[in-house]
Structure 1
């Protein structure tokens, strides 16, 4: 498998890890403020390509996609190579976004912050996705438009090569 194909496969691995986390699935699936108190999502795979995207998805402002929902994007940025087979540098980038009507919850954190905390707990310092240990490289709050807000998490694989 080429190094670029390996990188693309890592996004799928991350998405699979996300749907293995029941708290993340509940936060994506339920619009209730008490989403963590709801039953587990019976078919979390349905969230792939509907709430979890393997590219930096943005909703169409004029269409039905603009409704109140929460989603996560997984992408790889700034990877570069040395020679023909060694990949160096780069970031795993995860965006957690929600409609403003879904941000407030019955818990202490905003929905997007709660999901981001779950993701960070799964990824920071771990070797769970095959590109080596991940080091937290930063977080930024973002606003897509007047209705959608969230956070961007960046992780650097520190021993990938």
Structure 2
């Protein structure tokens, strides 16, 4: 197996976790302030390459007020003789007109919390539990902003 083949598997796992939470998917898909009251999304795979991207990608943000989640893998390197580690970064950002919700918190705070619940200290990515690597604000431009959550998986070198 390739030294970095796991990165593709990690991204698939992250996307599957995101798609497993209907409330998170509603927050990403619907532009309404009351997104939780909207119908469940029947075909969640339609979110991939529309709102959720398996690579760090900034879509053309000039025309549509939408919400996006993108993934990047950075700083991968050997650690000792038989392990490697790096950072998995999950970028979440939305149009400024979509920040407000009917729930007493911003759309980005809701999405950040949901993703954190799905990722932090969970198994299935790398060896052991996935470690929290940090949280930072993320500004795409004057209209889009959000957060980036970072996690540090550790895996065997192969």
Return the offset for 1:132.
3.3
Instruction: Give the one of 104, 108, 112 matched to 1:108.
Output: 104
RMSD of Structure 2 on Structure 1 (CA): 1.8
Greater relative CO, 1 or 2 (CA 8 Å, sep 6+): 2
In 1, the alpha carbon distance for the partners of 2:55 and 2:83 equals: 20
In 2, the alpha carbon distance for the partners of 1:7 and 1:81 equals: 14
Q: Deviations over 1:136-155 (max 9, x none)?
A: 11111121111001000011
Return the offset for 1:88.
1.8
In structure 1, the partner of 2:66 is 69
Instruction: Kindly report which structure 2 residues correspond to 1:25-44, keeping only aligned pairs within 5 A, or say none.
Output: 25-44=25-44
In 2, the alpha carbon distance for the partners of 1:56 and 1:6 equals: 17
Q: Does 1:117 align with 2:113?
A: yes
Normalised by the length of structure 1, the TM-score is 0.88
Return the offset for 1:37.
1.4
Tell me the SS of whatever aligns to 2:98.
helix
- Does structure 1 retain, via aligned residues, the 8 Å contact 2:138–2:147? yes
In 1, the alpha carbon distance for the partners of 2:130 and 2:34 equals: 31
Return the offset for 1:160.
2.7
Poorly superposed stretches of 4+, deviation over 3 Å: 128-132
Return the offset for 1:67.
1.1
Tell me the SS of whatever aligns to 1:77.
strand
Aligned residues: 156
Instruction: Kindly report which structure 2 residues correspond to 1:75-114, keeping only aligned pairs within 5 A, or say none.
Output: 75-81=72-78, 86-114=82-110
- Residues 1:61 and 1:69: Cα distance change in structure 2 (over 3 Å): closer
- Does structure 2 retain, via aligned residues, the 8 Å contact 1:102–1:111? yes
Return the offset for 1:6.
1.8
In structure 2, the partner of 1:18 is 18
Structure 1: gaps spanning 5 or more residues: none
